[in-house]
Amino acid sequence: MNGESGSLSVQASSRELVNAVLDGEFVNDQPPTRRKSWARRVADWWLRSPRVPVALKSRPLVVQAVKDGVAAVLRSPLRFAGAAVRGLVVAVRWWRSWVRVADYRAAVEQSEKLADKFTDIRTLALFRWKVTGAVIVITAVVVAVLDLVYGHRVLWAGGVVAMSLAVLGRRKDGSPGRKPVLAGPRTLTWTMDPQVLVDAFRDAKLIGKDETLRLVERATRQGDGWAVTVDLPATRKATDVVKNREALASALAVDEVQLIVERVRGNGGHAGRVALWVADEDPYGSPPLRTPLLGVERWDAWLPVPFGRDARQRRVDLPLVWTSLLVGAIPRQGKTFAARLAAAGLILDPHTRLYVADFKAGKDWHSAAQVAYRFMAGDEPAQVLALVDWLVELVAEVQGRYRRMQDLDDEVCPESKITPAMSRDPGLNMPVTAIFIDEVQIPLEDRTPLEVQDKKLTAGEYVGELLTWLARKGPAAGIVLVLATQRPDSKTIPSNLRAVLGSRFALRVMDWRDSNIVLGEQMNTRGYDSSRLLATHKGVGILRPDGETTAGADVLATTVRTYYMPNEDWRTLCARGRALREAEGTLSGHAAGQDNRPMLDHTAVAQVVGTVAQRTEEPEVPEPLASVVDYLQDDLQPGGRDFVPTAELVAALDVEPTAFGLRMGEFGCRPTRDRITTEDGVRQVRGYLVADIRTALTAFREGAIVDAEVVEDED
């Protein structure tokens, strides 16, 4: 018994162990997958099936489709009546042509035998008039008899006639009688009719007569306008549509400021996909909005600054850290307001350090003196020399920051770049530092002589070299440059400085050359030309950001209307920034009443910047050769075009053809004839060989060609 009871207890204990293991395995197993309900399977099939129209796959599109359907039903009586009237007109025109024997008369006139066949034509026309009268009488008698026999129900046969006339008068390409002599006003239908869009693309010569568009997303309301996405035919590029936006706007009968054309990029786009948005009215005609920074107590300099709104009233933010900004415009277009918007976000961060140089010497920047680490206002040589000292100080500061970064571990400084934590650590002393220079053309053009390491140069040249170095090396160390100028030309802003300024904002300028100087080379050929902005649109400009904005990282540039920030709002923000610095204990420099002069080492800085290196200045290329070179750009390099038509240059440069040809001839560029391929086939046109233009440019730079106008000016 004892043995049996022992074996039973062992079996029981082993059974408990087995059960325990099984229980543990059951708990750790994944729960059984539940089968999808039939409703879920139907919903998945509905979203994936290519047989279901796109308009029925999302709630907004379904709502829009219902609206379009209701509108179509409400408009159907008027559309039917209009089609019936057009069909009646077409039928009357056909009958008139038949009764006048127009076909036979035309054939006789071509054979020059009208006098011989006049009697036959007269007889045939009289016969057809008789046939017409007989048909009318017989039809009237038949209708009267049927009405007596069957009652007024016979009159419903008129509906069949009306339907036939409506079919005959339907709006269809190629239908007879559809060639109006005088067209009415070209306007978009409120539903953004796809056929209107196709016709507009054809009229703008963006697609061929036999080509069409593929609707990716049907027209939907977005804000105060219509948005639609289309695919172009094969080999057609979206960049060409962006470049020819003005022609497309003309075909759509809207102002170009109402039309936004963007190439769709990323996973959902390709080189032939275009997104269009057409505003109902001028999107910049309403009063501007106040800056949203008025509603915040403080701001983080590492966040993009609220800058303005685009045509769709979407907010556009401007990143400032790790980049630099150039603002260019003619006077009284909002240049200083745009620069102050960038400064406002940094002012509301008490951990930033500001350098403000106002060479306009007005009151626009006066309130910034209560928060700026260094501040000055004036346009005298003394202020230019003070700016030189500031820039030398900043160059030394950047070098010192890079040296201190080498001693930091990877957790504090993972890369050779400043981080938000580093910028707020008082022990490291690396705050985000921004220098704002309004009317930067004044120091850049200053001719005050300087001597650095026994080398003589002007203050403007030295300022240009220091700014270029800071724009290259400063952003990673937390230095932000914001330069504003009302003279955006190649003489004022050196090309090597413009090349390293990351973000650009161009308000209205005089011509496309000035626009390209601010935005970058060939931006006008990509459809971005700030000289085409209206003078009434104050504060509207083209923004080319360095970094991702709310418009998307793939957007090359966008038209923005900056927020409105008058002087009273500017004073409020500056006072708030001072209070924040006083509370954080970061108020220093000029704002704290500290007149501490920078510790300067011009020799060391000159060696770093490379100013004292031997410079060879190339002579300035005269017009119109300079404009031709600026327009061709990469085509002057090996592998570019071999021939450029004269008509293309005249249209692009907006010059008088005769004077242009004479001036080009003085540089050794003689027009010739060559064949080019167009949509209509191969044509022979006059133009210039790119090799001749390249040779003229090289000869002028080497001194083999002397500009006659320059010699006359010197004499």
Alpha-carbon span 168 to 329, nearest angstrom? 57
Q: What is the model's pLDDT at position 349?
A: 95
Residue 348: predicted pLDDT: 95
The predicted model gives 649-672 an average pLDDT of 82
According to DSSP, residue 370 is labeled G
Q: How confident is the model at residue 553 (pLDDT cuts 50, 70, 90)?
A: low
With a cut of 60, say whether residue 22 has pLDDT above it: no
Q: What is the spatial distance between Cα 364 and Cα 361, in angstroms, rounded to a whole number? A: 8
The pLDDT value given to residue 623: 76
CA distance 603 to 589: 25
Distance of CA 240 to the CA centre of its chain: 13
Q: Pinpoint the alpha helices (H) of 407-494.
A: 420-423, 441-444, 459-473
Angle at 281 between CA 275 and CA 282, to 5 degrees: 90
- In angstroms, what CA-CA distances link 661 with 225, 643, 654, 665, 700? 45, 16, 13, 6, 18
Q: What is the pLDDT of residue 189?
A: 46
The answer to whether residue 310 scores a pLDDT higher than 80 is yes
CB 461 within 8 A of CB 494: no
What is the pLDDT, as a whole number, of residue 607? 61
Q: What is the DSSP letter of 290?
A: B
pLDDT winner (highest mean) among 186-195, 215-224, 438-447, 679-688: 438-447
169 close to 88: Cβ distance less than 8 angstroms = yes
CA distances from 190 to 55, 186, 225, 254, 278 (A): 18, 13, 10, 13, 11
The answer, yes or no, to whether residue 422 has pLDDT greater than 70, is yes
Would the CA dihedral through 628, 632, 637, 643 be positive or negative?
A: negative
Own/partner contacts of 564-570, CB < 8 Å, gap of 24 or more, are 564/287, 564/288, 564/289, 564/290, 564/291, 564/337, 564/539, 565/290, 565/291, 565/337, 565/340, 565/341, 565/344, 567/363, 567/364, 567/367, 569/290, 569/291, 569/294, 570/340, 570/344, 570/367
C-alpha span between 106 and 499 (Å, rounded): 68
Q: CA–CA distance from 698 to each of 624, 692, 694, 703 (Å)? A: 15, 10, 6, 9
- pLDDT score for 260: 87
Residue 6 pLDDT grade (very low, low, confident, very high; cuts 50, 70, 90): very low
Residue of higher predicted confidence among 712 and 78: 78
Average pLDDT over residues 417-438: 93
pLDDT digits (tens, 9 = 90+) for 107-162: 666 665 555 666 777 788 888 888 888 988 998 888 888 878 877 776 777 777 88
pLDDT (mean) for 287-298: 91
Q: In what order do the strands lie in the sheet with 315-318?
A: 315-318, 305-309, 558-562, 540-544, 503-506, 324-328, 479-485, 433-438, 353-358, 374-377
User: What pLDDT does 113 receive?
Assistant: 58
pLDDT in tens, 495-527: 788 888 889 999 998 888 888 888 887 787 777
Report pLDDT for 639. 61
Dist CA 549 CA 533 (whole Å): 22
Q: What is the mean pLDDT of the chain?
A: 79
User: How far is residue 183's CA from residue 194's CA, in Å, rounded to a whole number?
Assistant: 20
Which of 101-105, 266-270, 608-612 is predicted least confidently?
608-612
DSSP 340-366: HHHHHHHHT-TT-EEEEEETT-SSTTG
Mean pLDDT, residues 594-613 taken together: 63
Percentage of residues in the chain having pLDDT higher than 70: 80
How does residue 604 score in pLDDT terms, banded at 50, 70 and 90? low
Higher pLDDT pick, 605 / 257: 257
Taking domain 321-514+564-609, whether its CATH number is 3.30.450.20 is answered by no
pLDDT of residue 420: 93
- Stretch 77-93: mean pLDDT: 83
Cα 605 from Cα 609, distance rounded (Å): 6
Please compute the mean of the pLDDT values over residues 334-353 and round it to a whole number. 93
Looking at per-residue confidence, does 446 or 494 come out higher? Answer: 446
The CA-atom distances, in angstroms, between 458 and each of 358, 400, 531 are 20, 27, 32
* Top-confidence residue, 182 or 651: 651
Could you tell me which residue, 123 or 580, shows the higher pLDDT? 580
User: Tell me: the pLDDT tens digits for 235-254?
Assistant: 888 888 888 888 888 888 88
- Cα–Cα distance between 520 and 251 in angstroms, integer? 29
How far are the Cα atoms of 253, 653, 669, 692, 695 from residue 625, in angstroms, in the given order?
36, 11, 10, 11, 11
Segment of 216-220, 472-476, 511-515, 663-667 carrying the highest mean pLDDT: 472-476
Instruction: Based on DSSP, count helices (H) and strands (E) in the chain, helices before strands.
Output: 23, 19
Q: Quick check: 684 and 674 in contact, CB under 8 A?
A: yes
What pLDDT digit, counting tens, does each position of 373-383 carry? 999 999 899 99
In 66-189, where do the E strands start and end? none
Of 599 and 281, more confident: 281
Residue 350 has pLDDT above 80, yes or no: yes
Which of these, 560, 558, 486, 488, lies nearest to 527 by C-alpha position? 558
The pLDDT value given to residue 652: 79
Q: Which residue has the higher pLDDT, 101 or 432?
A: 432
Q: CATH topology of 194-279 equal to that of 321-514+564-609?
A: no
Strand partners, 353: 433
Enumerate the domain spans of the chain: 59-168, 194-279, 321-514+564-609, 625-714
Q: Is the pLDDT of residue 365 over 90?
A: yes
Does 347 score more than 90 pLDDT? yes
Q: Return the H-helix or E-strand segment holding 326.
A: strand 324-328
In whole angstroms, give the CA distance from residue 36 to residue 44: 10
Three-state DSSP at 405 gives helix
Most confident of 221-225, 353-357, 695-699, 710-714: 353-357
Going by pLDDT thresholds of 50, 70 and 90, the confidence category of residue 703 is low
What is the model's pLDDT at position 356? 95
Domain 194-279, second-level architecture: 2-Layer Sandwich (3.30)
CA–CA gap between residue 703 and residue 694 (Å, rounded)? 14
| pTM for this model (two decimals) | 0.64
Mean pLDDT of 193-209: 84
Position 482 pLDDT exceeds 80: yes
How would residue 215 be classed by pLDDT, with cut points 50, 70 and 90? confident
pLDDT at residue 308 in the model: 92
First-to-last alpha carbon distance for the chain, in angstroms, is 136
Lowest mean pLDDT among 37-46, 237-246, 266-275, 598-607: 598-607
Longest CA pairwise span in the chain (Å): 143
Helix (H) or strand (E) holding 682: strand 681-689
Percent of the chain's residues with pLDDT above 90: 23
